[in-house]
Amino acid sequence: MAFLAELKVAGGGVGKLKSVPKEELRDRSHANTSLSGKDVLENEADRWKYFFNSGCEAWFTDIKEHTFRSTFVKLNREEASIIVDHWERRCRVVAAAESEGRNVDRELEELSSKAMEELEPLGKLLGKAIDEECAASAAGLAFVKLSTRSPKDSRKALAKAEVAYQQRLAAAPQEVREDDNERWKLLSEEVTRTGAVASGEEGLTLLLDSARVFEDLEYALRGPKLADGVGSGAPGDYNVSLVARAWDPRLTLQSEFRGIAWGGKLTCLCQYFHPLYFEGLQGLQGQIEKDCLALFSTPAVGAAVQSLGGHCIVDFAWLGSGEVIIVELNPFDGVCLGTFPASTGLFLWDNEQDQAIMKGDAPFEFRVRSEKLSQPALKVQCNPDWRRIIYNETKA
Q: Answer whether residue 229 shows pLDDT above 60.
A: no
Instruction: Order across the sheet with 142-146: list the strands.
Output: 70-74, 241-246, 142-146, 196-197
Q: What element of type H or E holds 343?
A: helix 341-344
> pLDDT band at 111, cuts 50/70/90?
very high
| All residues at 6 or more sequence positions from 149 whose CB lies less than 8 Å from its CB, including other chains | 3, 6, 212, 213, 216
pLDDT given at position 117: 97
User: Residue 313, class by beta-carbon neighbours within 10 Å (0-12 exposed, 13-18 middle, 19+ buried)?
Assistant: buried
Of the candidate ranges 2-6, 134-138, 223-227, 339-343, the one whose mean pLDDT is the lowest: 2-6
Q: What are the residues facing 71 on neighbouring strands?
A: 244
Could you tell me how many residues make up the chain? 396
Longest dimension (CA), the chain: 60
Q: Report the alpha-carbon distance of residue 262 to residue 292 in Å, rounded.
A: 16
> pLDDT band at 12, cuts 50/70/90?
very low
Going from the C-alpha of 286 to that of each of 159, 283, 293, 322, the distances in angstroms are 38, 7, 11, 12
Q: Model-level pTM?
A: 0.86
Of the candidate ranges 72-86, 116-130, 226-240, 322-336, the one whose mean pLDDT is the lowest: 226-240
Please enumerate, as own/partner, the contacts of 222-227 that have beta carbons within 8 Å and a separation of 24 or more. 223/48, 224/43, 224/44, 224/45, 224/47, 224/48, 224/49, 225/44
Q: Report the alpha-carbon distance of residue 165 to residue 190 in Å, rounded.
A: 6
* Mean pLDDT of all residues belonging to the chain: 88
Q: Answer whether residue 14 shows pLDDT above 70.
A: no
Q: Answer whether residue 24 shows pLDDT above 60.
A: no
Q: Residues 387, 381: contact at Cβ < 8 Å?
A: no
Going from the C-alpha of 108 to that of each of 153, 304, 348, the distances in angstroms are 17, 41, 39
Q: Residues 313, 260: contact at Cβ < 8 Å?
A: yes
Q: What are the residues facing 330 on neighbouring strands?
A: 313
| All residues at 6 or more sequence positions from 86 whose CB lies less than 8 Å from its CB, including other chains | 111, 112, 114, 115, 208
Mean pLDDT of 283-304: 97
pLDDT given at position 157: 96
Q: Report the alpha-carbon distance of residue 279 to residue 372 in Å, rounded.
A: 9
Percent of all residues in the chain with a pLDDT value above 70, rounded to a whole number: 86
Q: Report the alpha-carbon distance of residue 361 to residue 50 in Å, rounded.
A: 24
